[in-house]
């Protein structure tokens, strides 16, 4: 229970900085608990950088930010060696990925080669430079932001790379009350400065191990499989979810159960997390576009059509 209270205290700290976004803050926290990475598809100026900084301070994580521009190279991420005359030798300089929480800002503005370098580290948790493999610190999480499709100077991430992100969501504009509170209150930087660390990386790793043992009944696991397989067979989707989506939904459902104070997963946990897991992994076909169907419409149809198991309790 102490660990659970600590996680809620982290979210309370972030909520004081990013006003009116409790659902989004909770979803990002769940992704951290599940050991995954987050893709934020949003417009500029809604507080993505501040959000990442607030989380890093509340969890006492080593934080770095890199602005992805067309001239960013893979070595900026993975590191490189430079010759030091005083040592008469090459000395390795770590890249941006050597941290606990990396904000990869506007990832779709850089080259595919640099994107691939980041996504490889996300998957492997290590980099190989000049034949030497180095592990990145654990925990290691990435919050990547992506400009809306069609923005000048952007190129959409390939489907295989999108699949590396556990969840995808949008912060969006604040509600009127929260925006008024921002206008009348202290500055954003002052709010961030007030964030206090309530846990650290070791605590997060321990919670992640605990969550991996949350009970998943076979019927609920089958429900997860059926939902993901339904995306592959839906007539309005050109591409459905991969097996990685199935595993991501398992992990997020376990994290949802743990955050709710339970040691077992229910179908409701699965339903709540399914949209965040699947929306960046499925792509509409021409029929859907002609009929003005959205991804949200299709996801709702799948949730409504796939039979939910009647029981979700631990046996």
Q: What architecture is the 213-305 domain classified under in CATH?
A: Orthogonal Bundle (1.10)
Q: Which of 70, 137, 128, 69 lies closest to 102, judged by CA?
A: 137
Q: How far apart are CA 146 and CA 135, in angstroms?
A: 26
Boundaries of every domain in the chain: 2-205, 213-305
Q: Which residues contact 289 (CB under 8 A, 6 or more apart)?
A: none
Q: What are the Cα distances from residue 240, in Å, to 168, 278, 288?
A: 15, 8, 14
Tokens describing residue 25: 């803050």
| Tens of pLDDT, residues 237-292 | 998 999 999 999 999 999 999 999 999 999 999 999 999 999 999 989 999 889 89
Q: Give me the count of residues in the chain.
A: 315
Q: How far apart are CA 196 and CA 55, in angstroms?
A: 10
The CATH superfamily assigned to 2-205 is P-loop containing nucleotide triphosphate hydrolases (3.40.50.300)
Show the CA angle centred on residue 98, arms to residues 9 and 40, nearest 5°. 55
pTM: 0.91
| Tens of pLDDT, residues 71-91 | 999 999 999 888 888 877 888
């Amino acid at each position: 229970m102490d660990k659970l209270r600590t996680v809620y205290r982290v979210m309370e700290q972030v909520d004081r900085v990013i006003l009116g976004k409790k659902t989004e803050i909770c979803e990002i926290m769940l992704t951290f608990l599940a050991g995954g990475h987050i893709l934020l598809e949003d417009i500029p100026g809604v507080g993505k950088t501040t959000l990442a900084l607030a989380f890093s301070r509340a969890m006492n994580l080593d934080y770095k930010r890199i602005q992805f521009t067309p001239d960013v190279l893979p070595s900026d991420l993975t590191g490189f060696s430079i010759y030091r005359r005083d040592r008469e030798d090459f000395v390795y300089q770590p890249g941006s990925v050597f941290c606990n929480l990396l904000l990869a800002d506007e990832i779709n503005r850089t080259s595919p080669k640099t994107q691939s370098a980041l996504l490889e580290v996300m998957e492997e948790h290590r980099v190989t430079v000049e034949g030497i493999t180095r592990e990145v610190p654990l925990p290691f999480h990435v919050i990547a932001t992506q400009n809306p499709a069609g923005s000048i100077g952007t190129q959409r991430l390939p489907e295989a790379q999108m699949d590396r992100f556990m969840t995808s969501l949008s912060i969006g504009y604040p509600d009127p009350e929260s925006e008024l509170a921002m206008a009348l209150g202290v500055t954003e930087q002052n709010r961030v400065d007030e964030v206090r660390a309530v846990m650290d990386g070791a605590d997060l790793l321990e919670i992640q191990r605990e969550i991996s043992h949350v009970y998943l009944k076979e019927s609920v696991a089958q429900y997860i499989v059926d939902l993901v397989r339904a995306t592959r067979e839906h007539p309005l989707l050109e591409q459905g979810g991969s097996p990685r989506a199935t595993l991501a939904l398992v992990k997020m459902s376990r994290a949802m159960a743990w955050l709710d104070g339970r040691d077992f997963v229910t179908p409701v946990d699965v339903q709540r997390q399914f949209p965040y897991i699947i929306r960046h992994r499925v792509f509409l076909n021409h029929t859907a576009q002609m009929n003005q169907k959205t991804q949200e419409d299709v996801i709702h149809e799948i949730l409504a059509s796939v039979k939910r198991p009647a029981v979700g309790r631990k046996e």
